[in-house]
Chain A
Amino acid sequence: MVTTTALEEELRRLAGSVPDPELPVLTLDDLGVLRAVHVRDAGSVEVELTPTYTGCPAVEAMSADIERVLHEHGIREVSVRTVLSPAWSTDDISDEGRRKLREFGIAPPRGGRPSGPVALDLGPTRTAADEQEPEPVRCPSCGSADTELLSRFSSTACKALRRCLSCREPFDHFKEL
């Protein structure tokens, strides 16, 4: 059985409070990328971090931020290890994280999507017309379900670019992964 000490819990809370470098409204805890904090001995800590995407360039910034925060709290040696398994999924984003994303103007990922590609036909990229989608992607500004896909890849690999057909506002959607 794995036991977690009070110190580890405290350090985990500190590391988890680090903001995501690209989406600073979210903490690493909200994003669900912090896997574990192990205290090796007094002053030496190992942190396990999992990337959202394999090529996510934010991992290095996250590692540096975690190291800085833990150093500031008196930990001399901090090593951040990247772990791939089990793979991160957008289901790991907390409810609180989803709420913050929406407030920030990003449509949060929908939950519990089956993995693998979904067969799509030419034409209907409007959410309303797409019957295979489990639930519509709602506009984070006005809440309308009548939104359309502009591009499957947006400012970062984890987001798609959509447009609201009610208020005409373009917005990012955190894609389900």
Chain B
Amino acid sequence: MTLTVNTAAALALGDDALVLSHRLGEWAGHAPVLEEEVALANIALDLLGQARVLLSMAGDEDELAYLREERAFRNLQLVEQPNGDFAHTIARQLYFSTYQRLLYAQLASGDSEFAPLAAKAVKEVAYHQDHAEQWTLRLGDGTDESRERMSRACQALWRFTGEMFQPLDGVDVDWDGMRAAWLESVEDTLRRATLTVPEGPRTGAWTAGAGRQGLHTESFGRMLAEMQHLHRSHPGASW
């Protein structure tokens, strides 16, 4: 069976997974406890596996990951945001894994070229979401310090969450339904964590949302420079 692969959609979904995987990998050697370091690396590995499948649908995975310029990346601005403190990483995980699970669940039940990967990955992402929710509860309903930091992180990343629901050509899902389900799920977790649901717009002016068009935030260029430098300095190297 031959399926027509929508390259732009495969790139967008693949870039989300690749970029977040790299960001999570940056925690190696820096996480607060060993178990957490291993957890973040495991989540990064799951995402890297998804990225490899998705980018291979769009072309050569290595060329796409290591030789594209910043403006050719189609990932959401949310996933490229710096790790910040641990609370920022968890808020980013909460927002993104909730979105990714809803998206993959819909793709898994469809018949697009993404269905096999989505059916496989949705079960992995369920663990990512569980991990993020557990930490949100612990930090939000924790000490004054952890609560303050978690609250600040949720607020800071809120404006990056509207972009997730911009319809993508070639991805046939119910975007409005997904947005509503996402909001319900995240609000429920924040409430249980005794955190205030952030106020402020998620779409329109003063919000983020041009990653899918190739416009990225300042820190993304530095992240790419680090991610790509080895491959660019030693083309074709292997071990």
B-binding residues in A (CB < 8 A): 51, 53-57, 84-89, 115-118, 120-122, 150-157, 161, 175, 177
Contacts and interface: CB of A to CB of B under 8 A. Distances in A.
Interface in B9-48: 35-36, 38-39, 42-43, 45-48
Nearest to B188: A119
A117 B35 contact: no
A49 to B, nearest CB: 13
Interface residues of B, number: 36
A91 to B, nearest CB: 12
A51 B43 contact: no
Interface of B: 35-36, 38-39, 42-43, 45-50, 52-53, 101, 105, 115-117, 119-124, 126-127, 129-131, 133-134, 137-138, 141, 192
Nearest to B21: A55
A120 B123 CA distance: 16
B39 A153 contact: yes
A117 B101 CA distance: 9
A115 B126 contact: yes
Contacts of A116: 105, 122, 126
Contact of B120 (A57, A87, A155): A87
A55 B39 CA distance: 14
Given A51-B120, A85-B120, A89-B123, 20 more contacts: A53-B124, A54-B46, A54-B49, A54-B120, A55-B48, A56-B49, A84-B117, A84-B119, A116-B105, A117-B101, A120-B134, A122-B141, A122-B192, A152-B134, A153-B39, A153-B131, A157-B42, A157-B45, A157-B46, A177-B124
